[in-house]
Amino acid sequence: MPVMPPRPYILVVNGRKVRQPVFVISAPHSGADLLARALKRTPGFHFTIGQPAVLSVVYAFARNPSIQQGRGEAAATVMRDAFAQAWQVTAHACLTCLPACRQARATSTGGTCVDEREITRYGDASPELMYCAEALVDAFPDARLVQIIRDGRDVVAAMLADPESLAWFKRGVANVETEFPNPFFGVETDADLAAWPKLSAAGKCAMRWRGTVHKMARLRSSLSADQLTTFRYEQVIREPQAAATALSDFVGAPVDRIEVPTRQTAGSWRRALAPVQRSEVEKVAGQQLRRVGYGD
C-alpha cells in the first residue's frame, strides 16, 4: 500500500487561513524596515515586526543553529506556534511589539494596527529572521521571502553607530566558541574562528554582513523565484516606485509605495569609516563586496 505524503499544515489565525505569508529578511541596517513599512500599510496585510513570541524563537534559533539540525518538523512547529500567537489581533499584542512595528503604522492612533475583519494576508520582518529562513519555509511551504541587500560598508558604518548591534559582540554574549559554525556572527570556518578575537568592532560587523551574503546565496540556490526575491537597497531608495511595483508583483498584493526618509542615503561609509576601519572591512569582506557588486 503506497505511503501517502503528509497533508500540508494549515494555520488559522483570527478566523483566517494563513496563506502565502510574506517574510522580509536581511542583514542589520540593510533596509528591511523600508519594505516592512510598505507591506504593513498595504490593505489586507497584518504585518508584524518583533512580537515577543517570535523574537524569543528567532533569537534562540539564530544564536544556536544546532538546535534545529535534524529537527526540521519540530522547528517548523515551533515557528508556526510563535506566529499563531504573534498574529493574534489584540490591543495587548500591539503594546508588546517593538517600537519599530508601532512606528510603521499608517496612523499614530491608539488601538490595534489592523482591522481584524479586513485581514487577508500575514507577514513579518522581525530582526534576525534570516537565520530562520529554512524553518519558515518548512512551517509555511507557500511562504514568500523577500530579502534585501545593502553595501556592506554602509552596513558596517550603521552597525558601529548602533549600540544594540554592538552589544552582540560583548564578552559573554558572542557565542562563537560554543556554537560553531555560527552563521549569526558569520564565523563559518576555522580561519574565521581564529581571526575573531583579533578583529575590531568594524571587522566583526563586516564578518556578520559577509555571513548574511553567504546565507542569501544559499537561499537563492535552494528556493524558486516564486518563493524568494532579492532587492538591492540602493535601487530601492533611488527608484522607490519601481521597487513598490516589483514588490507588488512578487507578493501578489497592491503595495502602494515605499517611503524613503530623506536621511536614507548610499555611500555614507566614505565619511563614517576611518581608513583603518575601511582596511579591515576590505580584509574581511572585500571579496564578497565585489562579488555582489560593491567594488568601487
| Together in a domain, 138 and 176 | no
**pLDDT digits 0-9 by tens, 203-240:** 999 999 999 999 999 999 999 999 999 999 999 999 99
| Together in a domain, 103 and 158 | no
Residue 250 has pLDDT above 70, yes or no: yes
| Together in a domain, 188 and 131 | no
On average, the pLDDT of the chain sits at 91
Instruction: Name the band, by pLDDT with cuts 50, 70 and 90, for residue 8.
Output: low
Confirm whether pTM is higher than 0.85: yes
Instruction: Name the band, by pLDDT with cuts 50, 70 and 90, for residue 107.
Output: low
- pLDDT at res. 4: 43
Domain presence at residue 278:
yes
| Together in a domain, 92 and 232 | yes
**pLDDT digits 0-9 by tens, 167-196:** 999 999 999 999 999 999 999 999 999 999
* DSSP string across 95-134: HHS-HHHHHTSS---SS-SS-GGG--EEEE--TTGGGGHH
Between 4 and 136, where is the model more confident? 136
| Together in a domain, 143 and 63 | yes
**pLDDT digits 0-9 by tens, 12-55:** 999 889 999 999 999 999 999 999 999 999 999 999 999 999 99
| Together in a domain, 256 and 197 | no
Q: Which domain holds residue 236?
A: 12-150+224-263
| Together in a domain, 207 and 69 | no
Alpha helices in the chain (DSSP H): 32-40, 52-63, 72-86, 91-96, 99-103, 133-139, 152-160, 163-167, 190-195, 201-222, 233-238, 240-251, 269-272, 275-291
Domain presence at residue 32:
yes
User: Distance between CA atoms of 150 and 130, rounded to whole angstroms?
Assistant: 15
| Together in a domain, 228 and 276 | no
Residue 113 has pLDDT above 70, yes or no: yes
| Together in a domain, 118 and 254 | yes
What's the average model confidence in pLDDT over 79-100? 84
| Together in a domain, 22 and 99 | yes
- pLDDT at res. 206: 98
